Structure formats: structure tokens, C-alpha cells
């Protein structure tokens, strides 16, 4: 694949054994299959290989949800529940609540001096997101979220950030800011690299390019099987196919794209052949998909039921992770202030 972003430092994974990675999500609601296919599944694998830090970015969530801060607590819990159910192991991964580490905000402020507004305005990811959300005016916080994301990465001295291609401009920006910091202040912050490995985005049930809670076209990991069945039934297929014997085009079918993301190779090939040759109806094809999704989510539901009975355990995991992360963050901020020669005294 050709990358348009200059200097995007993409890590060669084989060279990076036992390094630290940082990933995260905004807690704006429960996670869906798009999160699972796009990143969560990958993180479950990465945690065996890397020291993994996962940030629940509640301050970043405020950049788009500032009208409802009161929902953050519940959403943090739901996201953590989804992580743990999907196989994030708290012994291998450190889960962190962003707002409980004020050092991140401090570093964001220092970094904000090192970047001018124009590259943020022209950042393609910011532009697309603002357009998708219909923002005419951008808040200072929204425009600056890649800067705070840079602080998230730098404060924990992460080497690698697993991202999708659309997030590459943010990593490029992070490298630029860190480089400038290091040059100006003789700092020793780590210039992070992108670890491209995450799968492309899952399309929505309505055929929209992105599965997203805000578009109401998502299957949540926590949905019950009845509603998943109903959602799958409602999903957009090849509109030109009326009868099961009509020859279909799987490439424009939402259901087929989900088969590609979640089914075994055999079923994917069979589905493609049967659809193209009018040998399977969409109803049956959807039933097949439902079974696949059900067997993916069933083991997760077992974990979910356990943690829902033991909610305190979820919070304990979050607080323990945050506490561990805080030690690193306060060390980093001391080093940062020291290199800037503004460490007057530790009170
Ligand atoms: N931007 C990510 C999202 O939209 C969340 C996030 C916050 C993040 N800080 C990060 C991801 C640092 C990777 C690294 O969900």
C-alpha cells in the first residue's frame, strides 16, 4: 500500500520485541464489533509480546462530549468491561484512566507551545472527523486533541502505537512535537513509531463506511443475541438481489464484509460462491453470520457475566493500572521539567 504521509515511521515489528505500546479509546459508550475487529482483537495478541498500556481517554472524550461529563464514569466502566470480556488480561496490560493522571494535562500544555495551529487545522484526520460530526467551528480542545494524544504517548514513554492508517497523521505529529521538545530542551523523550497492524474499519449495518455508535449502525459487544439477530436481519445487502436465485455481488454487501471479518476461510469462500451464483438467499446467509458472531461473543459473555457480578473488581483493576501508570507519569514530568529547567522544587 502506498502511504501519502511523509516520514511516517512505521515500525518493523520484528525489531521491537519487549517494548512498550500505548493504545486507547475514548469512553463514549460501549465498544462494538468495529472496535473488536479494528483494534481490540489485535491488542489481545499484542499484550503477549509487548508491555501494553491501554488508556481510557476520558478527557479526550470530552472534546466531543463535553456537554455530558456525567456519563464518563459509566462509560469508563463499560469500556473496561468490554476489554476484560474480550480477553485483555490485566496481568499483561495496564489499563489507565486518563483524567486521573493530571501529569498528562501538564505535558499537553508544554507541548501546546511547540506546535502552531495550521498543521492542526490541516490535519486530515481532524478535518474528516470534524466533517463527519458536522462541526462548523472547532473548539480549542478538539483541535488540540492530537497534542494531548502526543502527551499520552510521551508521558508513558511508549515506543509503539498500534494504529490504523487514518491515525498516521497523529503519530507523525507526535514525532514532530517530541523531536522539537528534545532539540529545544535537550530532552530524552521517546519518538514513537506507528505499529500498523490493525484491520480496516468495519462498515456499518446500514452500509455506511464506518460502524459507529453515533450513526446507530453498530453491533455492540454487549448486545444480547436477540437484538443482534434483529440487527443482522436489518443489515443492507446487495439491493439488486430480490430472490435467493438472483446472482449477487458480495463486494457491495454488508453481510459479506462481516463474513470476511469474522468467519472462517471456508465459509467466506462458500458465501462468495453461493452469493455470486444465486445459490443462497440473503436470509440464510444472515443466519450463518449470526451463528459466527454468536460463537465469537459467547465466551466473552461468560467473562462479562462474571465481571458484572463483581463490578468492584473492574474498578480495582482500573485503579491499580492507573496507580502504576501514575508513577511513570510523575517521573516523566519531573524529567520534562528538569530538561526545561523549570523544576524549582518538588513540594
Ligand atoms: N484517539 C483514540 C480514539 O479515538 C484514543 C486515544 C487517546 C489514543 N490517546 C491515545 C490512541 C494515544 C492511541 C494513543 O479512540
Tell me what pLDDT residue 204 has. 96
Residue nearest to atom 2 of ligand 1 (CA): 25
Q: What atom of ligand 1 comes closest to residue 60's alpha carbon?
A: 7
Cβ contact 280:244 at 8 Å: yes
Most confident of 9-18, 237-246, 322-331: 322-331
Q: Tell me, yes or no, whether 80 and 190 share the same domain.
A: yes
- Tell me, yes or no, whether 36 and 165 share the same domain: yes
Count of domains forming the chain = 2
Domain co-membership, 31 together with 141: yes
For ligand 1, whether the C-beta of 161 sits within 6 Å is yes
pLDDT of res. 17: 57
**147-161, 216-230, 238-252, 309-323: which has the minimum mean pLDDT?**
238-252
Domain that holds residue 276: 225-307
What would the mean pLDDT of 100-106 be, rounded to a whole number? 98
Q: What is the pLDDT of residue 156?
A: 98
3-state helix, strand, coil in the chain (%, to 5): 60, 10, 35
pLDDT at 1 over 50: no
Q: Are residues 153 and 240 in the same domain?
A: no
How far, in Å, CA of 297 to CA of 83, rounded?
Answer: 13
Query: Does residue 5 have a pLDDT over 60?
Result: no
**How far apart are alpha carbons 296 and 285 in whole angstroms?**
17
**CATH assignment of the domain containing 281:** 1.10.240.10
**Is residue 249 located within the same domain as residue 194?**
no
Residue 58 Cβ < 6 Å to ligand 1:
no
Residue 91 and residue 16 share a domain: yes
**pLDDT per residue over 254-285, tens digit each?**
999 999 999 999 999 999 999 999 999 999 99
Classify residue 176: in a domain, yes or no: yes
Provide the CA 267 distance to its chain's centre, in angstroms. Answer: 28
**Quick check: 58 pLDDT over 90?**
yes
297 & 319 share domain: no
Residue 198 has what pLDDT? 60
Are 302 and 316 part of one and the same domain? no
Are residue 93 and residue 110 in the same domain, yes or no? yes
Banded model confidence at residue 4, pLDDT cuts 50, 70, 90: very low
Give the separation between CA 60 and CA 83, rounded to whole angstroms: 18
- Residue 83 counted as domain residue: yes
Higher per-residue confidence, 142 vs 242: 142
Q: Is the separation of the CB atoms in 72 and 27 below 8 Å?
A: yes
Render pLDDT for 174-231 as a digit per residue (tens, 0 to 9).
999 999 999 999 999 999 999 987 677 899 999 988 899 888 999 999 999 999 999 9
Q: 22 CB less than 6 Å from ligand 1? A: yes
Percent of the chain with pLDDT over 70: 95
The CATH number given to whatever domain includes residue 76 is 3.40.50.620
CB proximity list for 36: less than 8 A, separation 6 or greater:
86, 221
* Contact 26 CB / ligand 1 (< 6 Å): yes
Closest C-alpha residue for ligand 1 atom 8: 24
Task: Using the mean position of ligand 1's atoms as its centre, give its distance from the Cα of residue 10 in Å.
Answer: 17
In a domain, 346, yes or no: no
Amino acid at each position: 500500500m502506498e502511504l501519502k504521509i511523509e516520514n511516517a515511521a512505521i515500525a518493523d515489528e520484528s525489531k521491537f520485541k519487549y517494548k512498550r505500546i500505548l493504545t486507547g479509546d475514548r469512553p463514549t459508550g460501549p465498544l462494538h464489533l468495529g472496535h473488536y475487529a479494528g483494534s481490540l482483537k489485535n491488542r489481545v495478541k499484542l499484550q503477549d509480546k509487548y508491555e501494553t498500556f491501554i488508556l481510557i481517554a476520558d478527557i479526550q472524550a470530552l472534546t466531543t462530549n463535553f456537554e455530558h461529563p456525567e456519563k464518563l464514569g459509566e462509560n469508563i466502566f463499560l469500556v473496561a468491561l468490554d476489554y476484560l470480556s474480550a480477553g485483555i488480561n490485566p496481568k499483561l496490560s495496564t489499563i489507565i484512566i486518563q483524567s486521573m493522571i493530571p501529569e498528562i494535562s501538564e505535558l499537553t500544555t508544554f507541548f501546546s507551545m511547540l506546535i502552531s495551529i495550521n498543521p492542526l487545522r490541516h490535519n486530515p484526520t481532524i478535518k474528516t472527523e470534524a466533517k463527519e460530526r458536522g462541526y462548523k467551528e472547532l473548539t480549542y480542545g478538539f483541535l488540540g486533541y492530537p497534542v494531548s494524544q502526543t502527551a499520552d504517548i510521551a508521558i508513558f514513554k511508549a515506543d509503539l502505537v498500534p494504529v490504523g492508517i487514518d491515525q498516521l497523521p497523529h503519530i507523525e505529529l507526535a514525532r514532530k512535537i517530541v523531536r522539537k521538545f528534545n532539540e529545544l530542551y535537550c530532552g530524552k523523550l521517546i519518538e514513537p513509531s506507528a505499529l500498523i497492524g490493525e484491520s480496516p474499519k468495519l462498515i456499518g449495518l446500514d452500509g455506511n463506511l464506518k460502524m459507529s455508535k453515533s450513526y446507530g449502525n453498530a453491533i455492540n459487544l454487549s448486545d444480547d443475541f436477540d437484538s443482534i439477530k434483529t440487527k443482522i436481519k436489518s443489515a443492507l445487502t446487495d439491493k439488486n438481489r430480490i430472490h435467493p436465485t438472483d446472482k449477487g455481488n458480495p463486494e457491495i454487501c454488508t453481510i459479506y464484509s462481516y463474513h470476511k471479518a469474522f468467519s472462517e476461510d471456508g465459509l467466506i469462500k462458500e458465501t462468495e460462491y453461493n452469493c455470486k451464483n444465486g445459490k443462497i438467499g440473503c436470509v440464510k446467509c444472515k443466519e450463518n453470520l449470526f451463528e459466527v458472531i454468536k460463537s465469537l461473543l459467547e465466551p466473552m459473555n461468560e467473562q462479562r457475566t462474571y465481571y458484572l457480578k463483581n463490578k468492584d473488581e473492574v474498578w480495582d483493576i482500573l485503579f491499580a493500572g492507573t496507580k502504576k501508570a501514575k508513577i511513570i507519569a510523575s517521573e516523566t514530568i519531573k524529567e520534562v521539567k528538569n530538561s526545561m529547567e523549570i523544576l524549582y522544587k518538588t513540594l
